[in-house]
Amino acid sequence: MDFSANLGMLWANLPLPDAIRRAKAAGFAAVECHWPYPEDAGAVRDALMETGLPMLGINTRKGDAGEFGLCAVPGRESGARASIDEALGYAAQIGAQAVHVMAGKAQGAAAREVFLGNLRYGLHAARELGITLLIEPLNVYDAPGYFLRSTDQAARIIEEVGDAHLRLMFDCYHVQITEGDVSRRLTRLLPHIGHVQIAAVPDRGAPDHGELDYAHVLRHLAGLGWTRPVGAEYRPEGATEESLGWMDKLKAS
């Protein structure tokens, strides 16, 4: 199993091009990040080309302070669509494979319709660019009030939209906290999944302790035919390089 470094948490104190180079030196097969927009896209693209690492994905902006995206928030359609356009444009410049469309804090039927409309809007351009849109349920402790709260809810939206460029971001950390039964959910939802992420539960540390046995989870995932890098989206204690002992163990499991 290969791994992708989530640079929003690993080497987050470094400029993105330098973080990409650190990820390469540490043995990661890919990178991903949250909000790269302050960084010059050309410099990021150059670092990716230099290292040969693919950029698996970036996020749409969170919005104002305390927000977790805009794309399911009634009345914020203009800002939501601008954030999708911005993310797709930046992703195209650096060769990123996916954009995580952040839904935001909203509930109810109106929010669902707004989210569907904004996803369909984004998919027109995403198809042309060959970019996948990802949606991700977040747990109620880290993101109270977030629109997407379960994998089943996300799967129903993906099925209703019915576009191969819309996929599920399956973050094992969030899924375990909110729903559990990670292995069976991976099996059932595999046709919808576009990316998988890992971190320890419940502290979001390195994936070598806590409630989930990732050696088992990743063997199961590989047995399902998954071949893409799995995203390491965790908060290291101390220097990131000192937290990477898990990687060789899980590669060998």
* Residues identified as active-site: 136, 233
From CA 28, how far away is CA 47, in angstroms rounded? 14
From CA 215, how far away is CA 250, in angstroms rounded? 6
Q: Is the bond preceding residue 137 a cis peptide, omega within 30 degrees?
A: no
